[in-house]
Amino acid sequence: MSSSQGPVRILGSRTENLGTIITSETGLMGYLYRPGQTIPGGYVEFLIQLLDALRNPLVFLPVLFVYSILVAVILPTPVELALIPLLAQPALFGIAAVTIGAGKAAGSGMIFLLGKRTDKMIEKTSSKHASLKRLTDFCIWFVSKTRYVGLFLLLALPFMSDTIPVYVYSLFNHEGAILSARYFIFTNFLAGVSRVLMVLIAGVALGINSLL
């Protein structure tokens, strides 16, 4: 169904404008932004498109997978931005969690390979500067002490940027001697699934899904 006002969806006998639901002060963004804060227009448009794509999981899930890879590799935004539309479709919670976990695993695998190729260069470069060497030594110590548990806890933390911990644990892995690729990728997958389910269940418990 189309409308001159933008993407719409049907809830029983009701037709609602998704842009209004997302951007209104009493709607979804009212939970996420304080009065006076600027709402990023690109995110709003992205959320509207995701909500509209939910009508067709064959479209929505691949988009979610690619977005999850980008969140792990380059985007500093938390994955929760893509979870908001899912609150309107509880039946998709499970498959969406696995999709996001798979995307994060794929993205983290790419970064792990990058870290394996560059961490020796990083250590060599930092050895020429005392301050950089102290920072490098601390990061290596932190990764070696916290390992998979620390990585999981950081990645499972709601609204935490994935790129920071993934790069830290990859680039300061001491030439792959601390973390193995297999368990590193699996930890990213498990943390992604856990985080998605935790946030979605919390959203339903708080009644945010009733706004969609």
Boundaries of every domain in the chain: 1-53, 57-211
Question: Residue 88 is encoded by which pair of tokens?
Answer: 């309107």
Residue 15: strand pairing partners = 10
Residue 189 clears pLDDT 90, i.e. is over it: yes
The span from the CA of 30 to the CA of 144, in Å, is 41
**What is the average per-residue pLDDT within 28-41?**
45
| Matching residue, tokens 């979605």 | 200
DSSP SS3 for 15 = strand
128 pLDDT band (50/70/90 cuts)? confident
Among 209, 188, 206, 170, CA closest to 79:
188
**What is the average per-residue pLDDT within 118-129?**
77
Residue 118: the pLDDT is: 83
Question: Residue 50 is encoded by which pair of tokens?
Answer: 């995701």
Contacts of 183 (CB under 8 A, 6+ apart): 148
pLDDT averaged over every residue in the chain = 75
Q: What single letter denotes the amino acid at residue 109?
A: G
Residue 212 clears pLDDT 60, i.e. is over it: no
Contacts of 41 (CB under 8 A, 6+ apart): none
Residue 143 clears pLDDT 80, i.e. is over it: yes
Residue 71: the pLDDT is: 85
11 φ, ψ to 5°?
Answer: -120, 95
Stated pTM of the model:
0.70
